[in-house]
Structure 1
Amino acid sequence: MTIVDRYITKKYLGTFSFMLVLLSIVVLVIDIQQKIPRIENATAIDPKLNVTYFLLHFYPFWIINLVVTFLAILVFISVIYFTSRMANNTEIVAIISSGASFHRFARPYLLTSFFIAIISLVVNHFVLPWANIKKNELEAYTYNAANKEKILGTAPVSAQLSKTEYIFINSWNKREKRGYGFVYQKFDKDRKMIYELKANDSYWDPAKKQFVLNSYLEKTINKNDTEKLAQGFELRKSYGQAPEELFPNELLGQNKTTPELIKFIDREREKGNSNLNTHLNEFHQRTSMPVSIIILSFLALSLSSQKKRGGLGINLALGISLAFIFVFSFEALKVVSENKSMAPALAMWLPNIVFFPVTLVLYLKRANQ
């Protein structure tokens, strides 16, 4: 690595680190101020859920999620900023005039962005899920009333355990893990019901990892269509999974490492989960976002490596505008995919598919000037 390579790499990582810390502090302060009323409502439910508790047990992990989400944009703005300053100071002209080609000048950009992308890839697939487990334990308490009810409230739920087994609960409280109107049904290969279990109410016993069914009625249907009935006050049943897995919410996929997420998606696909695209978006985004770091790094280099009349200001304005378009496109395509109007793989890779040829054209045009 030459002196110029080390100089550019130092500029790259130094500016990126400064932007990372600055964004984290600013967004953290703004977010806390906005969510204090909701946190105070959570304190009414559980006294320990105060602002201090959230600062220690929620926001450190929330920051990790935030950084991963905006990493590509931070890289983009950082490269535009320090490269524009180099161009304005005629440093790039001096480097090119010394005999180095533009491709050679761009090499430290490639190596540094590739290094950040590899770290991001590992974090996305294995570290971020751990942070999300901690974050999502409290995430719902920071939502508005309607969204909090979806995660912690009471609603009908159902699950398909296998191709022949189903569970239905008329009213299930996700926070208390207690419900009313429990029904389990099993069918044979001809789709004829052979067993049914009903209970007035049920709750989850985390110690024994079982459902406790109260005031239950069992019905077994024999081959000759005769029925055998049994009833009682309490029955314990294990269905192989905790309620969070049987009745998953939209946050559950975020908590799983990629190998776990693949198995989870396969299982939910067999069960016919209507929220499957949400989890598929999570799966594809974990790889597409790190790739965006390399693409946006070269886009920023192409846009800011030539001295312009507007100087640093015009480059930053252009960079922030493109960053907004990039982030907005990802979020908009998530909604489109979740509404089943576009395949999740295409939705999560489309920004890269669009930005890559644009970046390539701009880079080659700049290199040939």
Structure 2
Amino acid sequence: MKIIDKYILTRYLGTFLVMLLLFIPIGIVIDVSEKVNKMIVNKTPLLDILIYYGDFTIYFANLLFPIFLFLSVIWFTSKLANNTEIIAILSSGISFNRFLRPYLIGASIVTLFAFLMGFILVPNASKGFNDFRYTKLKENSQTRETNDIFRQIKNEKNIKEYIYVSNYSYSSKTGFNFVFEKCMGNKLLYKVSATRIKYNEESKDYTLFDYKKRTIGKLNDVIEFSDKKNEIYNFEPDDLTPLIYVAETMTIHNLINFIDKEKARGNSNINEYQVVLYKKFSLPISAFILTIIAVAVSAMKRRGGMGANLAIGIVIAFTFIFLDKVFGSIASKSAFSPLLAVWIPNIVFGILAVYLLRNAKR
């Protein structure tokens, strides 16, 4: 590796690290200001708070690293351009493609690290981050999701099973206004309802309170009542938790298996999981695309100097975030292909990167 490669690579990685160290504490301060009253009221232990902000750091560093990387590349490349260092490098006979090589090496290092983070560290950090929010903070301690939860848990040999709860408490593993229906084709076989359902960790069954079961007969229905009854059902407590939350806490292997299981169950919300899966691959790759765009934008010396380059960079960064969020939401809530939706921002910005790179070479 030549001196020029070491020089640019050191600036690339160093500025990216500094950018993370600058913005992550700002995010922590904002989060603390929002949650400090709840922590005090709930008397949250200091150790739990420290662990939470460790998970917070990993979670948001992974989520926003392409933007931090993009802005850091624009920052130090603009300084090189303003100091006429890039002109000196290219005047010495080095081509623009050769000048770009240490940037791509840096992007490869960051991408590899991002893959390891996304596959190993981020699932655990996401679980810790969300667990703290839903179990330690008062307003979220009762339920993870306030909306009605309706799931199809079985779709085999013309037999279908459905469950419903109005809300679910993760900390106590308790659901409210529970309904279980078993159907053969379009015909209802029986329906179970309860005002409350609680999962028992030791016995791996469920306790139903104010139990009621209606079995559909040819002439008359059979109705059973009980104040409390234990039943075994073919679903896990995680089936009652928010979709995105569950997917984010899984390693890549577990997530793939989980998606296969949900497909077999006929889950109509399978796109939610697939978006999370595909983003584990698309997000790190965006480091290459955004690096090329950042170099192409900031390698030229402009009248506005570094400020003009940063302004352009911020617009591009927010456009990237906008496309990522919009197409992710579209794929989650419609029949649009999750794979295509997740990769559209990279495709659009990949085309933009090629266009800007050609202009920069001129």
Fold similarity call, TM over 0.5:
yes
SS of 1:107 mapped into structure 2: helix
Measured at CA, do residues 58 and 197 of structure 1 come closer, stay the same or move farther in structure 2, by a change above 3 Å? same
Aligned to 1:160: 152
Measured at CA, do residues 234 and 103 of structure 1 come closer, stay the same or move farther in structure 2, by a change above 3 Å? same
2:316 equivalent to 1:322: yes
Counterparts in 2 of 1:285-296, with a 5 A limit? 285-296=279-290
Compute the displacement of 1:293 (Å): 0.5
Compute the displacement of 1:359 (Å): 0.9
Compute the displacement of 1:201 (Å): 4.0
1:121-175 Cα deviation digits (max 9, x unpaired):
2221332111111111023469996xx4994366654432211242435544423
Measured at CA, do residues 170 and 82 of structure 1 come closer, stay the same or move farther in structure 2, by a change above 3 Å? closer
Aligned to 1:118: 112
Counterpart amino acid of residue 159 in structure 1: R
Query: What CA distance in whole angstroms lies between the structure 2 residues aligned with 1:142 and 1:201?
Result: 22
2:71 equivalent to 1:81: no
Counterparts in 2 of 1:1-369, with a 5 A limit? 1-40=1-40, 43=42, 47=43, 49=44, 52-53=46-47, 55-140=49-134, 148=140, 151-152=143-144, 156-163=148-155, 164-169=159-164, 171-175=166-170, 176-188=172-184, 190-194=185-189, 197-199=192-194, 201-214=196-209, 216=211, 234-273=228-267, 275-340=269-334, 342-367=336-361, 369=362
Identify unmatched segments of 5+ residues in structure 2.
none
The farther-off stretch of 324-333 and 212-221 is 212-221
Report the TM-score when normalising by structure 2. Answer: 0.86
Asked if the contact 2:244/2:276 (under 8 Å) is kept, the reply is no
Measured at CA, do residues 55 and 197 of structure 1 come closer, stay the same or move farther in structure 2, by a change above 3 Å? closer
Asked if the contact 1:250/1:275 (under 8 Å) is kept, the reply is no
SS of 1:306 mapped into structure 2: coil
How many residues get paired? 358
Measured at CA, do residues 328 and 205 of structure 1 come closer, stay the same or move farther in structure 2, by a change above 3 Å? same
Counterpart amino acid of residue 166 in structure 1: E
The farther-off stretch of 279-288 and 129-138 is 279-288
Query: What CA distance in whole angstroms lies between the structure 1 residues aligned with 2:289 and 2:297?
Result: 12
SS of 2:348 mapped into structure 1: helix
Counterpart amino acid of residue 151 in structure 2: A
Compute the displacement of 1:83 (Å): 1.2
1:39-61 Cα deviation digits (max 9, x unpaired):
445x1xxx4x36x3553131111
Measured at CA, do residues 79 and 220 of structure 1 come closer, stay the same or move farther in structure 2, by a change above 3 Å? same
RMSD across aligned positions (CA) = 3.1
Asked if the contact 1:12/1:79 (under 8 Å) is kept, the reply is yes
Query: What CA distance in whole angstroms lies between the structure 1 residues aligned with 2:241 and 2:83?
Result: 59
SS of 2:230 mapped into structure 1: strand
Counterpart amino acid of residue 282 in structure 2: S
Counterpart amino acid of residue 5 in structure 1: D
Q: Percent of aligned positions with the same letter in both sequences? A: 32
1:239-261 Cα deviation digits (max 9, x unpaired):
35431225544311111112222
Compute the displacement of 1:277 (Å): 3.2
1:171-202 Cα deviation digits (max 9, x unpaired):
444233334554434344x5544555555643
Query: What CA distance in whole angstroms lies between the structure 2 residues aligned with 1:169 and 1:241?
Result: 12
Query: What CA distance in whole angstroms lies between the structure 2 residues aligned with 1:34 and 1:228?
Result: 53
The farther-off stretch of 54-63 and 158-167 is 158-167
Query: What CA distance in whole angstroms lies between the structure 2 residues aligned with 1:144 and 1:340?
Result: 34
Compute the displacement of 1:206 (Å): 1.7
Asked if the contact 2:141/2:169 (under 8 Å) is kept, the reply is no
Counterpart amino acid of residue 184 in structure 1: F
